[in-house]
Amino acid sequence: MHLRPDHAVRDLPTLHAFIRAHPLGVITTSLPSDNFPTLQCSHIPWVLDSEQKAQNGSNGNSETPSLGVLRGHIARANPQSKAMIEAVAQSQPDTTGHVLPGEVLIVFTSPIDHYITPNFYTESKPATGKVAPTWNYAAVQVYGRATIYHDSKDEATGEYLHRQLSDLTVLGEQGVMGYGDGAKTAPWKIADAPKEYIATLKKNIVGMRIEITRIEGRFKVSQERPVNDRGGVIEGLEKMETGRARDMAEYVRSGVMSPNREF
């Protein structure tokens, strides 16, 4: 990701908040194969764990925050999961929970983005004419090592997938839908479905656990423009009278990089 200083976001809580607000990420793998495309990607909803990583210091053990862990699952019938299973089988054919060679990339994006016309600029355009169209957006890129849980006969795989399905359901039912905690609608739970159905479901999916090794964000909301140009962007977007344009105007006005912002 190209990270110019005025758009770069490196604050880990802010990046984690962005992922939790937009958990549908695109995972990309690069796995040379004679049977499947080398480059493949899939849209996957993710659960983010902010874990602690123990470090040994001179004065004993201390705990420092890791970059986090992403947990997801993918359909076994997906060609990308087949390529991942092939890759780990070739490197470690006798174990389960294999680690893919190299890194995977997962991209998370805000649903709010917008074209920015030079006609919005009230300072630079009339002064010099040296302006060009651009696009405002917010995105986070995550790189990591992927452990693949693919052996449906392995107890650890079954436990991992059950936890993953349960946690993802809580994220959707409570975090997205707002069910529970006094709501009129009770959240759906894994236990509400027949055990036989869930057992069959788990046989048809593959688990993924991503230990994050790098994470970076770019929140591009006209920060690089002079103050009067930013005012022109806000005014121009608000005059468009669409929800998407108004949301972007608010991002430009208050800044999307604050840790407490809703993205």
Segment 210-223 shows an average pLDDT of 95
CA distances from residue 94 to 17, 80, 159, 177 in whole angstroms, order as listed: 38, 21, 19, 42
Per-residue pLDDT reduced to its tens digit, 105-141: 999 999 999 999 999 999 999 889 888 999 999 999 9
| pLDDT confidence bin for 96, thresholds 50/70/90 | very low
DSSP structure class, residue 230: H
The structural domains of the chain, ordered by start, are 8-113+133-223 (2.30.110.10)
CA 177, 250, 234, 243: dihedral to nearest 10 degrees? 20
| pLDDT confidence bin for 258, thresholds 50/70/90 | very low
Q: 228 exposed, middle or buried (CB, 10 Å; 0-12, 13-18, 19+)?
A: middle
Q: Which of 141, 127, 139 is nearest to 27 (CA)?
A: 141
Q: Which of 23, 39, 43 is nearest to 31 (CA)?
A: 39
CA angle 260, 50, 64 (to 5 degrees): 100
| Mode of pairing for the β-strands spanning 104-109 and 114-116 | unpaired
**What sign results for the dihedral spanned by CA atoms 168, 79, 141, 90?**
positive
Per-residue pLDDT reduced to its tens digit, 51-68: 655 344 444 454 555 899
Confidence (pLDDT) at 65:
59
Segment 24-41 shows an average pLDDT of 97
Per-residue pLDDT reduced to its tens digit, 132-175: 999 999 999 999 999 999 999 999 999 999 999 999 999 999 99
